[in-house]
Amino acid sequence: MSGVSVHSMDFAAYRKIDAVNWSSLREIGRSPRHYQAALLAHRQDTPAMAYGRALHAAILEPEEFSRLYVCWQGGYTAAGKPTTSRASGEYKAWAADNEDKQHITQDELARVMGAATAVRAHRDAADLVDGAQTEITAQWTDRVTGLRCKARLDIVSTSGRLADLKSTIDSGPIEFSSSVHRYGYLGQLAHYLAGAIAADIGVDPLIPPAILAVESQPPHDVVVYRIGPDLMRIGEEMRMSYLIQLAACRQAGSWPGHCSEGEIDLTLPAWARANKTKTKT
């Protein structure tokens, strides 16, 4: 694989790169039809996504956060009483003066800064972030499929350790492991590692990557999860199976759904069958 890394590219420029990224690739895990639909659809922004971007900026690019994000602190009514109403002329004037920046509420700002402070106060999390390369764009050609790929790496620590920052409702091992499975975080980390190696970013492949999980609500508990070789193999198998399927679909010009024809016998997941057995006993 041959690639290139860019350290100064903003997210808007990154999104314009015509290459396969993980957020779209993971959709093929549902079906090629879902992947194609995700590419063609306008991606709807959500409060959770906006919070995640603000959190990444505050933790990984604090100077950019200070430059790009602003918060309306309120003004005064005609009677001289303090107000945070966005219907006031003061707010409209403030918004016009800051139209080129990202607006966040006082609650969002408090949560973002609370999470950022918690990360800095956590020894292992701070070790990952302090002095690290952050928000690095990698572009490369996958050697197996020939597909052009891209990734935006959150963290490459001073020791050469790859890490990904995730905001979550619950950073505890049980709930967060469910999130890792549900959202394909292992495949994402494998995609990032492949890009880091291809673009020669300075990642040491012998150091197990990490996921830095921080809760989006107080008390903003922080956990650094080490992703060992066995889990990384699972992630790499996921990544490669998705890329191979994507390459085949592009070549055939076919984007099937879960079942193109015929019927499928419905079965229950293992956890449901286990619960049924426990109920009988």
Q: Is 266 inside a domain boundary? A: no
- Alpha-carbon distance of 192 to 137, in angstroms, equals 10
Structure tokens at 20: 């396969």
Report the C-alpha gap between 70 and 109 in whole angstroms.
9
pTM of the predicted protein model: 0.87
pLDDT of residue 8: 67
Whether 270 is in a domain gets the answer no
Q: What is the pLDDT of residues 188-200, one digit of tens each?
A: 999 999 999 999 9
Instruction: Supply 193's token pair.
Output: 């590692």
Residue 80, pLDDT score: 61
Residue 167 lies in a domain: yes
Average pLDDT, whole number, for the chain? 90
CA distance 167 to 48: 9
Q: Which amino acid is at 28?
A: I
The answer as to whether 262 is a domain residue is no
> Is residue 180 scored above 70 in pLDDT?
yes
Provide the domain count of the chain. Answer: 1
pLDDT band at 217 (very low <50, low <70, confident <90, very high): very high
In the numeric block, which tokens belong to residue 205? 């492949």
Q: Is residue 211 part of a domain?
A: yes
274 part of a folded domain: no
The boundaries of the domain holding residue 25 are: 3-257
Q: Which helix H or strand E contains 164, and what residues bound it?
A: strand 162-168
165, two tokens: 């920052």
**β 133-141/102-104 pair status:** unpaired
Whether residue 119 contacts residue 59, with contact meaning beta carbons closer than 8 Å, is answered with yes
Where would I find the beta strands (DSSP E) of the chain? 3-6, 69-71, 75-76, 82-83, 102-104, 133-141, 148-156, 162-168, 210-215, 222-226
CATH number for the domain spanning 189: value is 3.90.320.10
Give the residue ranges of DSSP H helices in 72-221.
Answer: 89-97, 106-121, 123-129, 173-182, 185-198
Residue 72 lies in a domain: yes
With b meaning 16 or more CB within 10 Å and e meaning fewer, what string describes 1-19?
eebebbeebeeeebeebeb
Residue 193 lies in a domain: yes
Do 257 and 31 meet the contact criterion of CB atoms below 8 Å apart?
A: yes
pLDDT at 72: 85
What confidence tens digit (pLDDT) does each residue in 92-143 have? 888 888 989 988 888 999 999 999 999 999 999 999 999 999 999 999 999 9
Residue 240 burial (CB < 10 Å; 0-12/13-18/19+)? middle
Tokens in use for 54? 């603000």
Coarse DSSP helix, strand, coil percentages of the chain, rounded to the nearest 5 percent: 50, 20, 35
pLDDT digits (tens, 9 = 90+) for 73-82: 876 666 666 6
Separation between Cα atoms, residue 96 and residue 51, nearest integer Å: 22
| Six-digit token string for 124 | 């292992």
